[in-house]
Amino acid sequence: MTRTCFTSSLIVLTFVATSVAAEPVHSDAAAAQITQLEQRAAKMTGSSVLDYAKELLDGAKANVSDAKINYAAGKEKLGALFVQTATARLDTAEIKTTEKELLEKLAIRRSELKKAEARLERYRQGEEN
């Protein structure tokens, strides 16, 4: 009877150990980071980032997926590296988009300035003549 009980306990412990090992090893903080990155990427998908930095956004999404896979496989250092890379790509996409938008606004302002200068010049010539 004790031998059967010992064998049953061993089987149960082996089952519990394998089911625990199959679960993702990453921490709640890593899971929160991944969720935050997914939310940032989703928010950017509906913005002008698609026009200016689509390749960076796509790369960041791939990095988030790779991070999930590596955390699930117990490769925490590699998962953390993919999280950092995704964060950097999303930050770069935001910066690149902001830069492009500002350059467009600057071009519009320069055009408006040239038109105003031309009007001023026409006005001055009309006064002098």
Residue 17: predicted pLDDT: 37
Residue 128: predicted pLDDT: 57
pLDDT digits (tens, 9 = 90+) for 37-94: 999 999 999 888 888 999 999 999 999 999 999 999 999 999 999 999 999 999 999 9
pLDDT at 22 over 70: no
Residue 46: predicted pLDDT: 86
The vertex-110 CA angle with 106 and 115, nearest 5°, equals 150
pLDDT at 19 over 60: no
DSSP the chain: -HHHHHHHHHHHHHHHHHHHHHS----HHHHHHHHHHHHHHHHHHTSTHHHH-HHHHHHHHHHHHHHHHHHHTT-HHHHHHHHHHHHHHHHHHHHHHHHHHHHHHHHHHHHHHHHHHHHHHHHHHHHH-
Print the domain residue range for 79. Answer: 2-128
| Residue in the structure block whose two tokens are 């600057």 | 106
* Under 8 Å between Cβ of 44 and 57: yes
Residue 9: predicted pLDDT: 41
pLDDT digits (tens, 9 = 90+) for 82-116: 999 999 999 999 999 999 999 999 999 999 999 99
Residue 92: predicted pLDDT: 97
Give every CB contact of residue 51 below 8 A, 6+ residues apart in sequence: 97, 100
* Total structural domains within the chain: 1
Look at 49 and 18; give whichever has higher pLDDT. Answer: 49
